[in-house]
């Protein structure tokens, strides 16, 4: 978005960028940018809080008063506990530990055991919403867990999607598995924030445990792309307490 802002400004359009990653926006130097300390994907802060979101919007639009740029300003208001908690972070020391490991076959069996409940909720969620983000990988739902647990073995599994590289299929399959679980559980209505949803996924589900195991496996993978995914936190977003 920072790069796009430069092109839009060259065509005479005035822009304001909401920035999550400060080093990126510092390097790209867009004309006007407001750095926001919120969870990725939520540039205006906590969902369903219109007054708070309006304060963020006004802070961004205030940058239009600046006579020149580049201008980078930190969001000046208080941040809610929701945003400070970084809901999708995996915080459990138990899950982050190298000492506790789970066998791939055991994990796959656990995922299959919890699948009927997840599948029922997901089916209702997809029908009720009329949409789903699951399916980016091209891997069938029933094949997601077997494909991903294959990366815990000595040799990686065969790529089931010819149009993608194996690391790409792997990455999108991770997204599909997480979306499958979270779309299902959020539709149930018991968990109202992404913090609660994240804690449920990482601490209570076999799918969350699988992602932890994959993160460990990718650290020592011979595949440079898989190692890179682990190093930058794509697989499991660890944040210190």
Q: Is 142 in the same domain as 76?
A: no
Residue 188 pLDDT grade (very low, low, confident, very high; cuts 50, 70, 90): confident
Q: Which domain holds residue 196?
A: 93-231
- The residue behind tokens 């972070």 is 89
Domain count for the chain? 2
Q: Is 101 in the same domain as 50?
A: no
Q: Is 65 in the same domain as 28?
A: yes
- pLDDT of 109 above 80: yes
Q: Is 64 in the same domain as 144?
A: no
Q: Is 147 in the same domain as 63?
A: no
Contact between residue 90 and residue 237 where contact means Cβ atoms under 8 Å apart: yes
Highest mean pLDDT among 38-52, 134-148, 196-210: 134-148
DSSP letter assigned to residue 220 = T
Q: Is 101 in the same domain as 206?
A: yes
Q: Is 70 in the same domain as 17?
A: yes
Which residue did the predictor score with more confidence, 227 or 53?
53
CB atoms within 10 A of CB 165: 11
Radius of gyration of the chain (CA): 20
Q: Is 112 in the same domain as 145?
A: yes
């Amino acid at each position: 978005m920072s790069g796009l802002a430069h092109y839009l400004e060259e065509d005479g359009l005035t822009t304001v960028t909401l920035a999550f990653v400060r080093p990126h926006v510092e390097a790209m130097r867009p004309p006007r940018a407001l750095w926001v300390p919120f969870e990725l994907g939520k540039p205006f802060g906590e969902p369903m809080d219109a007054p708070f979101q309006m304060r963020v919007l006004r802070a961004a639009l205030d940058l239009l008063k600046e006579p020149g740029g580049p201008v980078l300003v930190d969001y000046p208001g208080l941040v809610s506990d929701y945003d400070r908690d970084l809901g999708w972070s995996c915080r459990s020391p138990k899950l982050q530990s190298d000492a506790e490991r789970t066998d791939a076959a055991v994990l796959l069996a656990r995922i299959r055991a919890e699948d009927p409940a997840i599948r029922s909720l997901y089916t209702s969620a997809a029908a009720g919403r009329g949409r789903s983000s699951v399916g980016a990988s091209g891997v069938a739902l029933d094949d997601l867990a077997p494909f991903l647990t294959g990366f815990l073995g000595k040799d990686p599994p065969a790529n089931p999607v010819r149009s993608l590289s194996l690391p790409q299929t792997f990455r999108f399959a991770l997204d599909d598995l997480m979306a499958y679980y979270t779309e299902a559980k959020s539709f149930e209505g018991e968990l109202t924030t992404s913090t609660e949803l994240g804690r449920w996924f990482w601490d209570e589900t076999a799918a969350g445990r699988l992602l932890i195991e994959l993160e460990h496996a990718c650290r020592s993978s011979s595949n440079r792309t898989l190692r890179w995914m682990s190093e930058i936190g794509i697989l499991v977003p660890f944040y210190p307490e």
